[in-house]
Amino acid sequence: IDWGADIIHGNHPHWYQPIEWYNGKPIFYALGNTVFDQEWSRETKQGYLAKLYFSGKNLLKNKLEIIPVGIKDFGQAYLLEGEEKSRIVAEINTSR
């Protein structure tokens, strides 16, 4: 970000991590899974999509939609709702 990036996105641990905002720009350390065939834990069966908004080429600062997803039947993604959705959004936005 200090070198001009508007978004940083990493991923590896198969568990979603909170988003960090640095100088008004998001750092996504891990979005978790959206398709994964190892269903041994709740954490590996959940993730999220991040919907970012732009005006032309410019990222709109702090405008972001979190879309929590679950995985069932060894790889079928579905949108989470209710308490599960609210819990994930709250956990992800801890540094906001």
Render pLDDT for 3-56 as a digit per residue (tens, 0 to 9). 999 999 988 888 999 999 898 889 999 999 888 777 778 888 899 999 999 999
Residues facing residue 41 across a β-bridge:
none
pLDDT given for residue 81 in this prediction: 96
Average pLDDT score, the chain: 88
5 contacts 12 by C-beta, under 8 angstroms: no
**Could you tell me the CA-to-CA distances from 70 to 33, 66, 85 in Å, in that order?**
8, 13, 9
Cα separation, 85 vs 53, whole angstroms: 21
Structure tokens at 53: 């908004």
**pTM for this entry:** 0.84
Terminal Cα distance for the chain, rounded = 17
Percent of the chain at pLDDT exceeding 90: 53
Buried b (16+ CB within 10 A) or exposed e, 27-40: bbebbbbeebeeee
